[in-house]
Structure 1
Amino acid sequence: MKVSDAMTSQVSVARPTDSIRKVAETMAKVDSGVVPVVDDGKVVGLVTDRDIVLRVVAEGRSFDSAVSEVMSDGEVLSVKEDDVLADATAKMANNQVRRLVVLNDAGNLTGILSLGDVAKDYGAKQVGKTLEEISQEPGEAAH
């Protein structure tokens, strides 16, 4: 199974100059705890609901500040949409992260892969396959 089979492809993004308030409103509107920050088509950071709590609320910063001041930047962990899903989940585990940005071959954002996506898609398909195998008549070959 490929990453593209499980990822969420409808992703709201922010620009580095967007206000923290605007990004928080976007999170509330789309019911997501993460928004990639994109500049010139490339992901330059991520901002999470946790970033907002720890770097804005706890430090008393203004919600009108630019999101670039509080986003997690540096190396944004990513995978390619054609990567094997099992390799992506191993990358999550090795780096102790819950999500990875998904890029196409040109390096542009095409989605986000979260642990929830993996559990929902991969888990459901695996359960279905197991149920199919259990339900087979004795002596019937597995497909």
Structure 2
Amino acid sequence: MIVQHVMSRDVRTVTPEATIREAARIMADADVGALPVAAGDRLAGMVTDRDIAIRAVAVGKGPETTVGEVMTHDVLYCHEDEDVHHVSDNMGEMQVRRLPVVDVEKRLVGIVSLADIALAVNAEEAGEALEGIARPGGERSQSIDGRA
């Protein structure tokens, strides 16, 4: 099975110039914990509710702080035509719960999460990825100082 068959196509985005208050409102309205950050038609980063909590609120930054100040710049993504099993393995290794999905022109077309994989493929596959994600620390670990 390929990613385009399990991904969510209805993806809300935010710009780097948006405030974290705006990003949080979009997350609340869409009931999501992460938003791709788009600069024009290109993926510029990701911002999560955890980015806002750790990289903004925890260090005293206010709601007018821009998304660009707290987002993760090193964007991990997958392609819509990739095999779900391969993507799931990569998510475990990279310790991420969701990935933006791009087309051959690297334009955002969706997002895939462990939940999407668990529902479409099998829970065991998602569980193996989650086991890798749940390891403490790692390259993708978030911290106040880090911008991984």
How far did 1:56 drift?
1.3
Quote the Cα distance in structure 2 between the aligned partners of 1:49 and 1:20. 9
Quote the Cα distance in structure 1 between the aligned partners of 2:116 and 2:78. 14
Q: Residue 116 of structure 2 corresponds to which residue in structure 1?
A: 117
1:99-114 correspondence runs (5 A): 99-114=98-113
1:46-84 per-residue CA deviation (whole Å, 9 max, x = no partner) reads 00010011011111101111110000112x111110111
How far did 1:123 drift?
2.2
1:26-49 per-residue CA deviation (whole Å, 9 max, x = no partner) reads 000000000000002111110001
Gaps of 5+ in 2: 126-148
SS at match of 1:107: coil
Quote the Cα distance in structure 1 between the aligned partners of 2:43 and 2:25. 20
Q: Which one-letter code corresponds to 1:111 in the other structure?
A: G
Q: Residue 97 of structure 2 corresponds to which residue in structure 1?
A: 98
SS at match of 2:56: helix
SS at match of 2:86: helix
SS at match of 2:65: coil
Q: Which one-letter code corresponds to 1:87 in the other structure?
A: H
Q: Residue 38 of structure 2 corresponds to which residue in structure 1?
A: 38
Q: TM-score, normalised by structure 2?
A: 0.81
Count of aligned residue pairs for this structure pair: 124
How far did 1:100 drift?
1.0
Q: Residue 145 of structure 2 corresponds to which residue in structure 1?
A: none
Percent of counterpart pairs with the same letter? 39
Q: Residue 83 of structure 2 corresponds to which residue in structure 1?
A: 84
Q: Which one-letter code corresponds to 1:69 in the other structure?
A: E
1:4-27 per-residue CA deviation (whole Å, 9 max, x = no partner) reads 111111000001100110000000
SS at match of 2:72: coil
SS at match of 1:58: helix
Greater radius of gyration (CA) = 1
Q: Is the 8 A contact 2:56 2:65 kept in 1?
A: no
Q: Say whether 1:16 aligns with 2:16.
A: yes
CA RMSD, 1 decimal: 1.3
